[in-house]
Amino acid sequence: MAHQSSDLTTSLTRQGQLNMAGDSRALYLKLFSGEMFKGFQHNAIARDLVMKRTLKNGKSLQFIYTGHTTAEFHTPGNSILGNSDGAPPVAEKTITCDDLLISSAFVYELDETLAHYELRGEISKKIGYALAQKYDRLIFRAIAKGARQGSPVKKANNTFEEPGGTQIRVGASSSNATAAYDAASLVDAFYDAAAALDEKGVSSQGRVAVLNPRQYYSLINSVSSGVITSGLINRDAQGTALQSGQGVAEIAGIKIYKSMNIPFFGNYGTKYGTAGTANPGITDPGNKGNFVGETLEDGRASVTGINNNYGNATDFANSCGLIFQKEAAGVVEAIGPQVQVTSGDVSVVYQGDVILGRLAMGADFLNPAACVELIAGAATGSTGNAAFGTSYPANG
């Protein structure tokens, strides 16, 4: 019996070994990478909706603006040395990379052994979700910022004044925040936004909107049931596809997405409480945890790790949706989503592994004319949410 047991041990195939030698779990670590990337890609929607650039060998990336120029008639005999007004004016925008963004977890080897489910894959997805959530939140805040800015391109005595961002109030009343969920008011706001983008010379290609989930469902429910009789609304799908929130409904050529990561009345995605001037009046469903209706954190350069201005929580007191075109914002990535796992002596000493997801990025608005912020309820100032206190002029 002893001899048979010895032979069985020698011939036993360990599925986690590399070429039947060494660590019996070496190959199991590979699962994490795919799970982390899957979790990130399935939850980050903003990455593909704006201008994304890779940052190498530097801390920031420069984007160049070029303003308008004029056409003029030539006078016979005069030399042609450029327009008399010296147009087009040129300006720059620099987006700086923020500090390294990480999400990590320690997996104790004994816990992994005793668990009846695949522990690393589950943890990896949550790490991917966390990175995607932060990624989207920073980009959406940058777009809201752009909607409150004039154009960075300014030239004295220039024939053209370059257009800036746009704020559109949802509903007619300045004191009724519940209009943020009114489907008919949202449709009107979409057409108003489309007209503003057309008037400011923004391309119709790549126009999208991102709404709170309750706004999205209110909108598609009213459209599907025929409650909204005015306006042309395109639907590319029905049933579950329409309810997924992945841009299957269009209004005025604007594809609609839903996200819990947009600034919404000073919170992310949803705000609960009694209806009023600064609250759309959604009843708290209870047992929502800490990640539903989460309050915005401050995001200026004075906050550790942040090198761009993403605004403070109070800057978004009346925000209730974003409509924008691809040129609205830019994101620079010095390190794309990556995964690192400890091994070797470190794993032996701690009897487990640290699983780390990381990325390094920064975001800011690019073309304010391509940014539209929806607002509702009472607001600071005459037009809506207060500006971010930059040196840019008022909206053109």
Query: Pseudo-torsion of CA 272, 273, 279, 280, nearest 10°?
Result: 70
Q: Quick check: 325 and 202 in contact, CB under 8 A?
A: yes
Nearest to 338 by CA among 32, 52, 23: 32
Q: What are the tokens at 326? A: 């691809």
Q: Looking at the domain assignment, is residue 233 inside a domain?
A: yes
How does pLDDT run across 91-146, given as a tens digit for each residue? 788 899 999 999 998 888 887 777 766 777 888 888 888 899 999 999 999 999 99
DSSP 232-256: -EEES--HHHHHT-EEEEEETTEEE
Rg for the chain (alpha carbons), in Å? 26
Q: What are the tokens at 223? A: 């459209």
Burial class (CB in 10 A: 0-12, 13-18, 19+), 258: buried
pLDDT above 70 as % of the chain? 75
Q: Looking at the domain assignment, is residue 178 inside a domain?
A: yes
Which conformational region is residue 70 in: left (phi greater than 0), alpha (psi within -120 to 50 degrees), or beta?
beta
Q: Looking at the domain assignment, is residue 392 inside a domain?
A: no
Q: What are the tokens at 19? A: 């070429």
Q: Looking at the domain assignment, is residue 239 inside a domain?
A: yes
Q: Looking at the domain assignment, is residue 83 inside a domain?
A: no
Taking the C-alpha atoms of residue 83 and residue 118, their distance in angstroms, rounded to an integer, is: 68
Q: Looking at the domain assignment, is residue 116 inside a domain?
A: yes
pLDDT given for residue 228 in this prediction: 58
Higher pLDDT: 34 or 56? It is: 56
Distance of CA 357 to the CA centre of its chain: 18
**What's the pLDDT band for 191 if we cut at 50, 70, 90?**
very high
What is the domain extent for residue 168? 32-65+92-375
Q: How many domains does the structure of the chain reveal?
A: 1
Q: What is the separation, in whole angstroms, between the first and last Cα of the chain? A: 89
Predicted TM-score of the model (pTM)? 0.81
Domain of residue 264, CATH code: 3.90.1690
Q: Looking at the domain assignment, is residue 78 inside a domain?
A: no
